[in-house]
Amino acid sequence: MKLKIKEYREELQLTQKELAEKINNSQRNISNWESGASEPDCETIIKLAEIFDISIDQLFGREPQYSVREPAMGIDYNILKEVRNLTDTQKFALMQFLREIHY
């Protein structure tokens, strides 16, 4: 069984190493899971679904289950969704804001 880890990781533009750090695991394990050489345990499967903000069924490559209630979005995804809707001018303002946050 090969979970759809690579697909969702790349969607978030994370490297294997970055994803590994987010779930306290090794880059090599991410590689193994993505290739199907091994499988993450159930606890890790949940972590992955949470980071990708998808259902476990989706991570397993099954049909998404359409939600009736408000989806429990992850904070990263909420931000990305907002950013996508910005105009170029607003994006410029956002970049300035990000610079201020850093320094």
CA distances from 2 to 25, 58, 59, 83 (A): 18, 12, 9, 31
List the single partner that 67 binds among a copy of itself, DNA, none, CB under 5 to 8 Å by kind: a copy of itself
Nearest to a copy of itself of 26, 82 (CB atom): 82
Residue type, 77: Y
83 makes contact with DNA (CB under 7 A): no
- The token duo for 1 is 């069984």
Please enumerate in sequence order all residues whose Cβ is within 8 A of that of 17, keeping only pairs 6 or more positions apart, or say none. 27, 30
Residue 38 CB, nearest approach to DNA (Å)? 3
- The token duo for 103 is 């320094």
- The token duo for 9 is 């990781």
Interaction site with DNA (CB under 7 A): 15-17, 25-29, 31-35, 37-41, 44
Interaction site with a copy of itself (CB under 8 A): 1, 3, 11-14, 18, 39, 41-43, 45-46, 49, 53-58, 60, 62, 64-69, 71-86, 88, 90-95, 97-99, 101-102
